[in-house]
């Protein structure tokens, strides 16, 4: 956390005036920082979210001020309806801000963002549509109603919106999405597809594919981590046993996979063809570690295993292999993340969501140790 403080302050100090409202997104292999370009970039909430975690840990008002600056800058995303990622954007920034400060304006932003996200829900299929199909890759591939496993992460925004507003519609949409995804996104071994496309007339699954994984039938590592995190969070918010069971099935798959490296930082895809000479994805490791710590808190028969797995992962991510030295790595916290190899984006570089979930996992681990000692 001391290293993170040094890096994040350095990142803020180096933001050029042309990007003064938005934080860093990633960096090129040559170390040049690439910044978030607009409020609806799906990663725009992670940098302010990391700053909120620094305030959570250090209790120093300077971190609160930093977090407020970058959080308030992306408020207009609450009205965005063109993709599903408004949950990432607003929950990581305004959601954490409300949790830590009780700012009523932040609560209102969460509710408005949930209303925007809800416009993408179709009750005929019971799912939130991930991407519009009138342009870009979705149009090129002929998708009709694409839903990606990442979408599970946006449900926390909906659950919170019901708590904040008293409107159960948000909660019901989240539960429907989690239930239908559980039936359609997962293979018998409990690994998940990246994308399922549904027929816009019959509403049955017409294809199961990948965009960021190696192949349609492979297991893209960050996708497995999204699913683990999403169902763990859904159990926390609902208490529904089926979500706990699903989270444990995904976790057990993760813990026992034959291609999981000894240091517990997965290859970018568990079925990539050149293992063990494939790139690792530290962001997937951080997401999974954070989810496993929360899953362990539910005190099931496997809780100790989940917490031990998370600890091993955090030890690796905190080692010189993955953790930055002060001032290096373009002032990001961890190294060796993978955005999307098939689309040649952010390959073996730092990425802001890798930092966000790493910091979240560290704080969750600290809190779990305090709770266990008590």
Q: Which residues are catalytic?
A: 85, 150
CA distance 176 to 113: 18
| Distances 109 to 7, 117, 129, 151 between C-alpha atoms, Å | 29, 12, 21, 20
What's phi and psi for 27, nearest 5 deg? Answer: -145, 150
3-state DSSP call for residue 54? Answer: helix
CA distance 109 to 164: 10
CA distance 195 to 155: 17
| Distances 259 to 214, 256, 326, 335 between C-alpha atoms, Å | 14, 9, 32, 21
Instruction: Name the DSSP class of 15.
Output: -
Shortest CA distance to 96 belongs to which of 31, 62, 132, 52? Answer: 52
**Can you point out the beta strands (E) in the chain?**
24-27, 33-35, 121-122, 127-128, 146-148, 195-198, 205-209, 337-340, 345-349
CA distance 238 to 249: 18
Instruction: Name the DSSP class of 154.
Output: G
Instruction: Name the DSSP class of 205.
Output: E
CA distance 25 to 41: 9
Are 329 and 261 in contact by the 8 Å Cβ rule? The answer is: no
Using alpha carbons only, how large is the chain's radius of gyration in Å? 19
CA distance 331 to 353: 14
CA distance 232 to 333: 25
Shortest CA distance to 247 belongs to which of 173, 321, 297? Answer: 297
């Amino acid at each position: 956390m001391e290293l993170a403080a040094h890096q994040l302050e350095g990142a803020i100090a180096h933001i050029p005036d042309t990007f003064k409202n938005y934080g860093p997104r990633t960096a090129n292999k040559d170390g040049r920082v690439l910044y978030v370009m607009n409020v609806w970039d799906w990663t725009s909430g992670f940098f302010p979210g990391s700053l909120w975690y620094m305030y959570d840990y250090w209790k120093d008002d300077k971190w609160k001020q930093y977090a407020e600056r970058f959080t308030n800058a992306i408020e207009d995303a609450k009205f965005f309806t063109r993709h599903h990622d408004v949950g990432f954007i607003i929950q990581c920034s305004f959601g954490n801000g409300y949790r830590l400060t009780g700012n009523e304006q932040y609560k209102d932003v969460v509710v408005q963002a949930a209303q925007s996200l809800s416009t993408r829900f179709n009750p005929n299929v019971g799912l939130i549509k991930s991407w519009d199909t009138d342009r870009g890759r979705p149009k090129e591939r002929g998708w009709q109603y694409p839903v990606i496993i990442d979408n599970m992460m946006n449900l926390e925004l909906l659950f919170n919106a019901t708590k904040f507003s008293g409107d159960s519609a948000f909660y019901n949409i989240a539960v429907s999405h989690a239930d239908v995804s559980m039936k359609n996104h997962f293979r018998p071994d409990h690994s998940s597809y990246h994308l399922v496309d549904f027929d816009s007339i019959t509403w049955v699954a017409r294809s199961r594919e990948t965009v960021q994984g190696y192949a349609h039938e492979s297991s893209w590592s960050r996708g497995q981590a999204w699913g683990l995190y999403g169902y763990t969070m859904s159990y926390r918010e609902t208490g529904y046993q089926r979500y706990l069971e699903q989270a444990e099935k995904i976790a057990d798959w993760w813990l026992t996979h034959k291609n999981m490296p000894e240091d517990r930082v997965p290859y970018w895809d568990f079925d990539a063809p050149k293992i063990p000479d494939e790139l690792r994805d530290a962001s997937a490791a951080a997401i999974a570690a954070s989810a496993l710590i929360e899953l362990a808190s539910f005190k099931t028969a496997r809780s100790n295993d989940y917490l031990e797995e998370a600890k091993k992962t955090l030890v690796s991510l905190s080692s010189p292999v993955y953790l930055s030295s002060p001032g290096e790595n373009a002032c990001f916290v961890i190294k060796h993340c993978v955005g999307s190899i098939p689309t040649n984006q952010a390959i073996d570089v730092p990425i802001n969501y890798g930092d966000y979930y790493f910091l979240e996992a560290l704080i969750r681990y600290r809190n779990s140790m305090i709770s266990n000692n008590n």
